Amino acid sequence: MTVVLVPLAQGCEEIEAITVIDILRRAGITVVSAGLNAHPVKASRGTMLLPDTTLDAALATSFDMIVLPGGQPGSNNLKADERILTLLKQMSQKNKYVAAICAAPSVLALAGLLDGKQATSFPGALDAFPRIHQQSGAVVVDGNIITSRGPGTAMDFALTLVELLAGNAKRREVEAGLVR
């Protein structure tokens, strides 16, 4: 069984969080949304999100992928959480998938996971990290690292994650059901 962690920080971008969770679940992938604390998450546009669990409780589970929604101050809140940075490094060392969208690729960069890698992000989010080969594509895959640009690319990002975890046939099946 494939299991994906989606950490939800206060101020995350709701389109990115919900799209990823929804599309992965449509593909039959188990998704655990985890708040950084036990409170509901107020997303960047004021939408209240209720995570499945807390990050502390989720850390007892083994995950195949972690997906970081972007948005602000959500991405900054992820950067400030040592548990997230440690988990990203551990998952990368185990060759597990690590994914981030919008401003959240900067969290991967802070953890040292994007050095020498190709990546994309919300314009300007990676400018402070010169060792990254910035790309302008909607979704960029470099080994076990997947990055995407922002809310407008969330569906392409989520479908790419489905393809990586469950194959192209499952991606086509999920995409057909979305009537894109």
Residue whose token pair is 């990002």: 157
CB 6 within 8 A of CB 41: no
Positions marked active-site = 102
CB 51 within 8 A of CB 74: no
CB 4 within 8 A of CB 30: yes
Nearest-10 crossing angle of helices 154-166, 14-26:
30
